[in-house]
A = this chain, B = another copy of it.
């Protein structure tokens, strides 16, 4: 046979699970989108269609829901670790499990001042509004021995309305861009960071706290860097995380430069003193890089987009 099978994986993608836990009248919510990818000794199902080694994707879906009950969802990372361990240790043909999770944040709805006249001051303990800002992500990979945890976020849109310049660049025959000494810098952050926790013998990071702190460093570095290029800002964002969070060894960013063009108002006899901008859709600059702790090897794949 002149053709052979290469890397392959399968599972159920985008299992939408909402988990409610109760602390008396106070409810807590975890809202996840869980995707399972399994790989191992799967030649037969590709070559002959024999499913003798195949745990159905429907079963992986059921397992997600059953585990939400059995283990609860302490964090997306911890939940993914439960799932990955289960698939690899319970099914002989499965050698590697990769669990990807998106998490959507919710916040509580504040009670009205005169809530008492409605139905009791404690009622909003079960009422939520979706936060709608970034989507938190994680990817758990387990091969039976070592763990790899790559967490991240996407859809986080940020802007500095000044303190950004761009000049001193290469000019070739196709260059028409004018140098800018005060511009808007805006991007939609996609980031993935790798934890150096890899073994059950070592204590796990506090996933919830680590996420909050990593996100905070990222936002603050964006805000507090006087930028000569988006690459410089990116490096500062990564560097501050590596320096500030010892549990993170590597971070990769994909940062679209969301162009805000100063509108030419001179034809109308008006001066645009960095006040009125056109927010463009496409094309956009796309800046991507990995920032690493010195002495470590990069593991995060470089492709975070198809464009």
Q: Most chain-B CB neighbours within 10 Å: which of A127, A174, A274?
A: A174
**A50 at interface by CB-CB < 8 Å:** yes
Taken together, the copies of this chain in the complex come to 4
Given contacts A12-B286, A115-B220, contact A132 B129 (CB under 8 A): no
Cα–Cα, bound, A173→B86 (Å): 12
Flag if B284 contacts A232 (CB, 8 Å): no
For residue A233, give the distance in angstroms from its CB to the closest CB of chain B. Answer: 9
- A45's contact among B231, B265, B286, B303, by CB below 8 Å, is which? B231
Flag if B177 contacts A231 (CB, 8 Å): no
Q: Which residue of B lies closest to A102 (CB)?
A: B307
**Interface majority SS (helix, strand, loop, mixed), chain A:** mixed
Given contacts A127-B223, A285-B11, A291-B6, contact A170 B37 (CB under 8 A): no
In the assembled complex, 18 residue pairs joining A and B whose CB atoms fall closer than 8 Å, in A order, are A5-B235, A10-B286, A14-B307, A18-B277, A20-B161, A21-B275, A51-B168, A59-B175, A62-B267, A65-B278, A66-B174, A69-B275, A91-B170, A109-B158, A111-B220, A119-B226, A129-B157, A130-B158
Flag if B56 contacts A224 (CB, 8 Å): no
**A159 at interface by CB-CB < 8 Å:** yes
For residue A162, give the distance in angstroms from its CB to the closest CB of chain B. Answer: 5
**A110 at interface by CB-CB < 8 Å:** yes
Q: Most chain-B CB neighbours within 10 Å: which of A220, A257, A276?
A: A276
- A16's contact among B48, B51, B283, by CB below 8 Å, is which? B283
Flag if B17 contacts A279 (CB, 8 Å): yes
For residue A176, give the distance in angstroms from its CB to the closest CB of chain B. Answer: 5
Number of interface residues of A (CB under 8 A): 155
Cα–Cα, bound, A271→B304 (Å): 38
**CB-CB nearest 9 A-B residue pairs:** A49-B228, A6-B290, A127-B223, A8-B289, A49-B232, A130-B157, A57-B285, A51-B169, A132-B133
**A202 at interface by CB-CB < 8 Å:** no
- A257's contact among B57, B90, B115, B160, by CB below 8 Å, is which? B57
**A243 at interface by CB-CB < 8 Å:** yes
User: Which residues of chain B have C-beta atoms less than 8 A from A5's C-beta?
Assistant: 235, 289-292
Cα–Cα, bound, A239→B272 (Å): 45
Cα–Cα, bound, A131→B159 (Å): 12
**A106 at interface by CB-CB < 8 Å:** yes
**A80 at interface by CB-CB < 8 Å:** no
User: Which residues of chain B have C-beta atoms less than 8 A from A223's C-beta?
Assistant: 109, 111, 123-124, 127
Q: Which residue of B lies closest to A92 (CB)?
A: B170
Interface residues of A in 77-116 (CB under 8 A from B): 90-91, 100, 106, 109-112, 115
Flag if B59 contacts A4 (CB, 8 Å): no
Cα–Cα, bound, A65→B10 (Å): 31
Given contacts A223-B124, A229-B54, A293-B3, contact A62 B130 (CB under 8 A): no
Q: Which residue of B lies closest to A16 (CB)?
A: B279
For residue A227, give the distance in angstroms from its CB to the closest CB of chain B. Answer: 7
